[in-house]
Amino acid sequence: MAQHEWVLFIDDDEEACDMLLDYLSQIDPKYPYYWIRRINLANGRYRALWNPEYSPRLVSNRVKFVGDVHEKVIPKDPHGIIDFPIIHNHRGALAYRNRWYQDLPIYRLWLLAKKAMEVVRDR
């Protein structure tokens, strides 16, 4: 259980930009959680297909969490949106392998379909 009123979820391969941290230090919360923009990089390269991505990252300790390792918030309205990004660097062995298939049109189409199915499922 969280000891503080708010929790900011950041993975070990992510970093919060200074603008986001400054904004959070001054925020007057009106919602139980906020979706924050995430910029995804793969091998140091921006991938337009993966961006932008928003997810509930700033969460009140009054919100119910589901999961053990990769906690998830079960979204309900209302929620706020913060447009200062978290940078996801995709560092590690998998990010540096030769992923030639990521530039194939069929792979991009599969990712779009996967994202669309997640949106429909989460409604």
Chain center to CA of 62: 20
- Distance (Å, rounded) from C-alpha 74 to C-alpha 94? 29
pLDDT attached to residue 37: 92
pLDDT attached to residue 120: 75
- Distance (Å, rounded) from C-alpha 3 to C-alpha 35? 21
Q: Does some domain include residue 1? A: no
Q: Does some domain include residue 103? A: yes
Q: Does some domain include residue 90? A: yes
Q: Does some domain include residue 62? A: yes
pLDDT attached to residue 92: 52
Could you list the residue range(s) of the whole structural domain that residue 24 is in?
A: 6-122
pLDDT by residue for the chain (123 residues), tens only, comes to 456 688 888 887 888 888 999 998 888 888 888 999 999 887 778 878 888 889 888 888 777 666 666 666 666 678 889 999 998 877 655 544 555 555 566 666 677 777 777 877 776
Q: Does some domain include residue 14? A: yes
Q: How many domains does the chain fold into?
A: 1
The structure tokens 């996801």 sit at: 88
Residues 26 and 18 sit within 8 Å (Cβ to Cβ): no
